[in-house]
Amino acid sequence: MKKLIHLFMGDPKKMFTPFNIVSGIILAMGFTIIGMRLIYGIGAVTNLDQDTPWGLWIGFDVLCGVALAAGGYSIAATTHLFGLHKYEPLVRPAILTGFLGYVLVVLGLVLDLGQPWRMPFVMLFPRGVTSVLFEVGMCVTAYTTVQLLEFIPAFWEWLGLEKVRQFWSRMTIWLAAIGVVLSTLHQSSLGSLFLMAPTKLHPLWYSNYLPVYFFVSSIIAGLSMVIVESSVSHRLFSYRLSPGSHFDLDELTLGLGKAAAAVLYVYFFIKLIGLAEGGHWNLLNTTYGYIFITEMIGCIFIPCMLYVYGVRTQNAGFVRFVGLWTVLGIMFNRFNVSMVALNWQLTPHYYPSWMEIMLSASLVVLGIWVFRWIVNRLPIMSDEMPVVGTNTLKALWAQAKAR
């Protein structure tokens, strides 16, 4: 029994670290807020009102969550479809991050919906086929499933079921391709959502190219997130790397940085085309104009140049720093489209309540906890980990039954 607890909980003596205590408090507050929402309604815990129906839970939990989880399909496509197999060591952590990211997105959405228990209705009664949101819902559901299927081979390995894993692996290429299709669709559709608000979204952000912007920037967010996530997890979970695997993370980081720089460069110019097409140059010299310029220069152009600099000087540490900068930059864009520039004529303008922020924070904490729990058990960081094996599980089960 003790062994079973150890397998699922880790060493109880080592549980009370400062991080665990702080994040545990955040989680507890998050659950309290969920309880309040379920009893007193969405208005009791958020600053949302009749003029501002969407706030932080859509802007951060859903829009940022989906964009930052784009590493899964980006890296899977790079490795499996484009044949750049040297990125293979990054695939599993990226898929796991992506999968958990999507689960958290769905969780965030559940809390934001008025009647979340009706979510199955969307599939049972597919009536809203002209709705962008319908497409987003279907794709997110399908893609979360695809990511689960992509991740499961690690589970078979953990159990030592080599034959099952091999059989399962036949799907890899197709799953990667379907993942790209579904991601193209829903990443861009999250931008299309705001096409329905031409009178409400600030003209500098409103553009018919919104879906293209959201898709292209999701690639940037995905690549940058993999840079950040791999560097953090390889530092924190270095003991989970098998001695045999000697891949050069710095080299991979530089490669990803190079790709991110290229996509950022393109993104900058397609944003510029949208600005020129809209023709609202006069609005640049307003408060909202300054926010837009901050996004264009500070979150797209400068990170692009810094990525180039980091790659040219072969400075992987610097590229990681730029990766974090870029991730925050894409989040800034999602915040602008969904909150800052939406209902821009409204006074007083919406800002999130502390409970909205706390709940979003507790979702992030939950993601980190589950990620850590899985990485500490399954072969994620490396495929040469000692496995649990079916025999160990059988023995544990027999022990548990004997008691």
Partner 1 sequence: MSTKPMNTPEKGASSCSRRNFLKLAGIGGAVALSDLAHASEQTASPGKGAKGVLVDTTLCVGCRQCEEACNSANRLPKPDKAFDDESALDEIRKTSPTAYTVVNRYNVNNVSVTRKQQCMHCVEPACSSACIIYAMEKQPNGAVTYRDDLCLGCRYCMVSCPFDMPKFEYSKAAPLIKKCQFCFDRQVEGLQPACVEACPMEALKFGNRNELIDEAKSRIYTQPNNYIHHVYGEHEAGGTSWLYLANVPFEKLGLPMLNSKPYPEMTAGAMSTVPMIMLLWPVLLMGFHHFTSGKDDAHNGHSNSRHVR
Residues 143-202 contacting partner 1, CB under 8 A? 153, 169-170, 172-174, 176-178, 180-181, 184-185, 188-189, 192-200
| Interface with partner 1, residue 127, by CB under 8 A | yes
| Interface with partner 1, residue 20, by CB under 8 A | no
Please, are residues 166 and 387 in contact by the beta-carbon 8 Å criterion? no
DSSP one-letter code for 346: -
Please, are residues 278 and 204 in contact by the beta-carbon 8 Å criterion? yes
Tokens of 319: 């590229």
Q: Which of 34, 42, 249, 283 binds partner 1 (CB under 8 A)?
A: 42
Q: How far is the CB of 270 from partner 1 (least distance, A)?
A: 15
Tokens of 394: 């059988």
Q: How far apart are CA 388 and CA 159, in angstroms?
A: 6
Q: How far apart are CA 79 and CA 252, in angstroms?
A: 12
Q: How far is the CB of 135 from partner 1 (least distance, A)?
A: 6
| Interface with partner 1, residue 49, by CB under 8 A | yes
204 — phi, psi (to 5°)?
-70, -25
Q: How far is the CB of 88 from partner 1 (least distance, A)?
A: 8
* Per rule CB under 8 A, count of chain residues that contact partner 1: 74
Nearest to 363, CA basis, from 113, 55, 65: 65
| Interface with partner 1, residue 385, by CB under 8 A | no
| Interface with partner 1, residue 125, by CB under 8 A | yes
Q: How far is the CB of 173 from partner 1 (least distance, A)?
A: 6
For residue 265, the one-letter residue type is Y
Residues 70-99 contacting partner 1, CB under 8 A? 77, 79-85, 88, 91-92
Q: Which region, judged by CB under 8 A, interacts with partner 1, from 117-125, 246-254, 262-270, 323-331? A: 117-125
Please, are residues 113 and 145 in contact by the beta-carbon 8 Å criterion? no
| Interface with partner 1, residue 273, by CB under 8 A | no
Cβ-based burial of 276 (10 A; exposed 0-12, middle 13-18, buried ≥19): exposed
Q: Which of 20, 131, 145, 315 binds partner 1 (CB under 8 A)?
A: 131
Q: How far is the CB of 151 from partner 1 (least distance, A)?
A: 10
Q: Per residue, what are the HEC states of 28-63? A: HHHHHHHHHHHHHCHHHHCCCCCCCCCCHHHHHHHH
Q: How far is the CB of 121 from partner 1 (least distance, A)?
A: 6
CA 320 from chain centre, in angstroms, equals 17
| Interface with partner 1, residue 51, by CB under 8 A | yes
Query: Closest CB to partner 1 among 200 and 301?
Result: 200
Nearest to 298, CA basis, from 279, 276, 280, 322: 322
Residues 292-351 contacting partner 1, CB under 8 A? 342
Q: How far is the CB of 248 from partner 1 (least distance, A)?
A: 18
Query: Closest CB to partner 1 among 274 and 303?
Result: 274
Nearest to 375, CA basis, from 230, 247, 160: 230
Q: How far is the CB of 391 from partner 1 (least distance, A)?
A: 23
Query: Closest CB to partner 1 among 44 and 395?
Result: 44
Alpha-carbon distance values, 139 to 122, 251, 286, 312, 367 (Å): 12, 33, 38, 38, 21
Tokens of 227: 């840079």
Query: Closest CB to partner 1 among 43 and 317?
Result: 43
Q: Which of 18, 114, 244, 279 binds partner 1 (CB under 8 A)?
A: 114
Q: How far is the CB of 341 from partner 1 (least distance, A)?
A: 13
Residues 212-231 contacting partner 1, CB under 8 A? none
Nearest to 82, CA basis, from 259, 307, 218: 259
Q: How far is the CB of 251 from partner 1 (least distance, A)?
A: 18
Q: Which of 32, 134, 234, 268 binds partner 1 (CB under 8 A)?
A: 134
